[in-house]
Amino acid sequence: MSEDHPKRRSDISARVVADETVVLDLGAAQIHQLNATASFIWNRCDGHNTAGEIAEKLADSFDVDSETACQAVQTALRRFDELRLLDSARE
């Protein structure tokens, strides 16, 4: 698992509603809906947690095995990156 410290872009607005998240990227004129798992991962993209740490927390909270959690985090981070929702100049 990557030792990267993913971080949400600071100019993006997000609101949590019923365990899901609505993410507004005004700069790109795009709005996204994150399901509960993606929301969990998104909320931990704070520049401190590594991808591996996020996966551990996901495994604990959602009662899934480590491999499933790692795959979910990798998939979500890849998608966040594709959508340019994360800071590109992170550690």
Which of these segments, 21-29, 42-50, 58-66, 83-91, binds another protein (CB under 8 A)? 21-29
26 binds another protein (CB under 8 A): yes
In sequence order, what are the residues at sequence separation of 6 or more whose Cβ sits closer than 8 angstroms to the Cβ of residue 17? none
13 binds another protein (CB under 8 A): yes
18 binds another protein (CB under 8 A): yes
DSSP state of 7: B
The answer to whether residues 36 and 22 touch, using CB atoms and an 8 Å cutoff, is no
Which residues does residue 15 pair with via DSSP β-bridges, in sequence order?
22
76 binds another protein (CB under 8 A): no
Cα-Cα-Cα-Cα torsion 63, 34, 88, 7, nearest 10 degrees, comes to -50
Residues 42-61, interacting with another protein (CB under 8 A): none
Q: Which residues bind another protein (CB under 8 A)?
A: 13-15, 17-18, 20-22, 24, 26, 31-34
